[in-house]
Amino acid sequence: MKMTTSNNITKRDLNRVFWRSFGMEWSWNYERQQNVAFAYSLIPIIEKLYKSDRDRAAALKRHLEFFNTTPHLSTLVLGIVTSMEEKNAEQEDFDVDTINSIKLSLMGPLAGIGDSFIWGTLRIIATGVGLSLATQGNVLGPILFLLIFNLPAQGLRYYFMHTGYKLGAGVLAKLQANGLMDKLTYAASVLGLMVVGAMTAENVSLNIPVVIGSGEEATTIGDICNNIMPGLLPLGFTLFIFYLLKAKGVKTTTLLMLCALIGLVGAFFGILG
C-alpha cells in the first residue's frame, strides 16, 4: 500500500524541479545518459508525494531508466511525469509502467524538435549575430549571443515545466497523431539551413587574387568566380570542408589545422588574399 502525503503539487514545487533541470546539461553518462539528472530533478516531487522510504526508493529507481532529449525541452517531460506521479500517489490501481512508457515515447520527438530549433536554429542565429559584432571588436557581440540564445531557450524551459504539468500525458500524443511534430521539425530544419547559408556568405572570406590577362582586360580569378555567382569561392570551400567532415570522417581538429595551413601557404605564395 502506498503511503502518500495530502499536499498537492504547487507552483513552488514545479519551480524547484525547473531549477534542478539545469543538471541535464551537466550530468551525463554513456550508459543511460541523462537519467541521473532526471531523477535528481524529481526529488522534491517524490519527497512530497511519498512518505515511506520504500515508495520513494521505488520512484527514484523508476526514473533512473534511460533518458535523453534536448535539455531545454526536458521540462515538458518532467511536468508530465510530475502529473503522473501525483496520480500514482492518489490512485491505488495506477499503472506505474505507463510513466516510463510516456518518457520513452516523448523524448525522441522532443529531441528532434529541440535539436533542430534550439541547437540547429536558435544557437546558429545567436552565433551569427554575436560573431558579426565580435569580429568588429564590439563588446555587444558575446552579450547579444548569450541573450539571443538563453532568453528563448530558458524561457521555453520554464514555460514547458508548468505547461507539461497542466496538460498531463495526453496532449503530445495528439500532436504526434496529427503530424504536427514532423511539421515543426521540418520547418525548424529548413530555417536552420537558411541561417547556415547566410553565415557562410557573411563570415567565410576567401579570394584568389591571381591576375589573368593584362592591361584593361586583366582580371582576377576571384572576380571571375564572383561574376559567375557572388560568394562562390567561400561556398565551394565550405562544401569541401563539409565533405571532408561528413563523407570522409576527418576530425575537426585536423580540419582546423588544414584550414590554417591552406591560409598560410596560400598567403605566402600570393595565391590567396
Q: Residue 105's pLDDT is what?
A: 76
Pick 46 or 180 by higher pLDDT: 46
Q: Which element (helix H / strand E) includes 219?
A: strand 219-220
The phi-psi region of residue 213 (left if phi > 0; otherwise alpha if psi is between -120 and 50; otherwise beta) is left
Cell numbers placing 234: 567561400
| 14-17 LR contacts (CB < 8 Å, sep 24+) | 14/79, 14/82, 14/161, 14/162, 14/165, 15/161, 16/44, 17/41, 17/42, 17/44, 17/45, 17/75, 17/78, 17/79, 17/82, 17/161
Angle in degrees, 0-180, between the axes of helices 74-90 and 35-49, rounded to the nearest 10: 30
For range 95-123, the mean pLDDT: 83
Pick 87 or 169 by higher pLDDT: 87
pLDDT in tens, 33-63: 899 999 999 999 999 999 899 999 999 999 9
Indicate the pTM of the whole model: 0.63
| Contact assessment for residue 47 and residue 67, using Cβ atoms and an 8 Å cutoff | no
Q: Residue 205's pLDDT is what?
A: 84
CA distance 258 to 178: 47
- 220 beta partners: 211
For range 194-223, the mean pLDDT: 81
For range 226-230, the mean pLDDT: 88
Q: Is residue 2 very low, low, confident or very high in pLDDT (cuts 50, 70, 90)?
A: low
- 33 beta partners: 29, 67
For range 117-132, the mean pLDDT: 89
Q: Residue 1's pLDDT is what?
A: 45
Listed in sequence order, the DSSP H helices in the chain are 11-20, 35-49, 53-62, 74-90, 97-114, 123-134, 140-167, 170-177, 180-203, 221-228, 232-246, 252-268
Q: Residue 150's pLDDT is what?
A: 94
| Contact assessment for residue 32 and residue 65, using Cβ atoms and an 8 Å cutoff | yes
Q: Residue 126's pLDDT is what?
A: 92
Q: Residue 6's pLDDT is what?
A: 44
Radius of gyration of the chain (CA): 26
| Contact assessment for residue 179 and residue 207, using Cβ atoms and an 8 Å cutoff | no
Cβ-Cβ contacts under 8 Å for 35 (sequence gap 6 or more): 29, 63, 64, 65, 66, 67
Cβ-Cβ contacts under 8 Å for 148 (sequence gap 6 or more): 122, 125, 126, 129, 130
